[in-house]
């Protein structure tokens, strides 16, 4: 059983952190001081049953992976959506019709302004070399899943 963190007072009920403080009932403001990213990785990400934190390769029964013939990526949403719709013969009906505000934008127009978090600019602020290695080890199976076509970062290739 994990020891609870002193800062966030996370209870050590393995696998049930998502329903415990500090996430519920939001007893105090969560910030970098009260709940450091390292505590999240050590005490929530690796034990929380919430699908948001689980490696992608574990989200489906292994036997079902042989049925998957297309994997789209968020960073390529528009192009991948076009490719998928064309592969299944649905582009003319769904991809070219224009579902935007004025009905002239593509279904997946590249407009992420409302969802922009600048998270990629903050990675180095939160990841120490050790924490980066720990997170990589946790999601390593995603990088080893050929279907995903992920590139292992050069500093983590020899782990």
In degrees to the nearest 10, what's the CA dihedral of 17, 21, 24, 30? -110
Q: 2 pLDDT exceeds 80?
A: no
Q: Tell me: the pLDDT tens digits for 18-36? A: 655 555 556 667 777 777 8
State how far the Cα of 107 lies from the Cα of 93, in Å rounded to an integer: 11
Burial of 148 (0-12, 13-18, 19+ CB in 10 A): middle
Look at the block and give the residue holding tokens 């290739």: 157
Q: Tell me: the pLDDT tens digits for 56-114? A: 998 888 899 889 989 998 888 888 888 998 999 988 877 776 554 555 555 565 555 55
Give the phi and the psi of residue 71 in degrees, each rounded to 5. -130, 120
- pTM, to two decimals: 0.68
């Amino acid at each position: 059983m994990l020891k609870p963190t002193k800062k966030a007072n996370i209870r050590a009920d393995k696998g049930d952190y998502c329903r415990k403080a500090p996430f519920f009932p939001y007893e105090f403001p969560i910030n970098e001081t009260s709940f450091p990213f390292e505590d999240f990785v050590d005490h929530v990400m690796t034990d929380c049953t919430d699908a948001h934190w689980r490696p992608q390769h574990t989200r489906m029964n292994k036997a079902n992976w042989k049925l998957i013939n297309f994997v789209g990526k968020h960073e390529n949403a528009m192009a991948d959506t076009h490719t998928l719709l064309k592969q299944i013969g649905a582009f003319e009906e769904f991809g070219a019709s224009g579902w935007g505000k004025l009905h002239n934008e593509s279904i997946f127009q590249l407009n992420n302004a409302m969802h922009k978090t600048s998270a990629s600019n903050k990675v180095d602020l939160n990841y120490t070399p050790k924490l980066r290695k720990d997170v990589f080890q946790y999601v390593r199976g995603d990088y080893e899943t050929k279907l995903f076509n992920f590139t292992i970062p050069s500093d983590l290739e020899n782990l």
